[in-house]
């Protein structure tokens, strides 16, 4: 059976959810999400440090969705909006947040992404800093403005491992979901 997005989304929507969204990831949507989450974090009067980290990780997560979302094949267009992505921000407890993202990925790209995340997860704080500085100084920005730094930055700012899975949707497409804890 193929991966059930609604079931996945339903499960993510448990606990103290600040914001949940599943549809097109556009530039305006990113602005709106950031505004809403920032206002909610202010209301919750969390430590400034945690608020900033959540905001930063959210920016990178959303922009990863925006830049790397694969165009869906025609037969999926009926069921999903273009640039379909899932985002759920929830509060685990005081000063601890979970940010979950999900998007379709062509099966040909899985290995590259998986290797990249595994590599990031294997590095120490100091090694992550070196990797960040190396990419910053040596890799050119893509035409879309992506720099290959988003995941490294998320790992560095949170100090936590990036949890992920690839769930089979059909022959060609998988659903990639990632969870990161900000504390």
Partner 1 sequence: MEAITFEGTAKTPTVKFDSANGVFEIKGRSIPENSIEFYKPLVDWLDEYAKGPRDLTQVNVQLEYFNTSSSKCILDVFKKLETIHKGKNEVIINWYYEEDDEDMLEAGEDYESIIRVPFKMIEIVE
The rounded Cα 183 to chain-centroid distance in angstroms is: 16
We find the least distance from the C-beta atom of residue 108 to partner 1, in angstroms, to be 25
Tell me if 3 sits within 8 A of 173, measured CB to CB: no
Does 153 participate in binding partner 1 (rule CB under 8 A)? yes
Draw the binding track, 91-130, toward partner 1 (x: CB under 8 A; -: no contact): --------------------------------------x-
SS3 category, 92: strand
Using CA atoms in the order 19, 20, 24, 29, what is the torsion angle rounded to 10 degrees? Answer: 0
Nearer to partner 1, 13 or 94 (CB): 94
Residue 128, SS3 per DSSP: helix
Query: Which residues are near partner 1 by CB under 8 A?
Result: 27, 30-31, 34-35, 48-49, 52-53, 55-56, 59-60, 63, 66-67, 129, 132-133, 136-137, 139-141, 144-147, 149-150, 152-153, 157
């Amino acid at each position: 059976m193929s991966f059930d997005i609604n079931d996945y989304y339903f499960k993510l929507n448990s606990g103290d959810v600040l914001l949940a969204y599943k549809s097109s990831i556009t530039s305006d949507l990113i602005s709106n999400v950031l505004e809403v989450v920032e206002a909610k974090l202010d209301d919750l009067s969390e430590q400034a440090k945690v608020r900033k980290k959540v905001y930063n990780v959210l920016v990178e997560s959303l922009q990863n969705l925006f830049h790397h979302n694969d165009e869906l094949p025609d037969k999926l267009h009926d069921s999903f909006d273009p640039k379909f992505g899932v985002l759920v921000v929830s509060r685990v407890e005081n000063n601890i947040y979970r940010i979950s993202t999900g998007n379709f990925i062509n099966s040909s790209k899985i290995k590259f992404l998986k290797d990249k995340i595994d590599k990031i997860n294997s590095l120490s704080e100091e090694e992550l800093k070196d990797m960040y500085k190396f990419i910053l100084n040596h890799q050119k920005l893509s035409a879309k403005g992506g720099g290959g730094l988003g995941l490294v930055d998320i790992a560095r700012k949170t100090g936590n491992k990036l949890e992920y899975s690839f769930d089979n949707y059909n022959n060609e497409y998988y659903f990639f979901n990632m969870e990161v804890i900000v504390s």
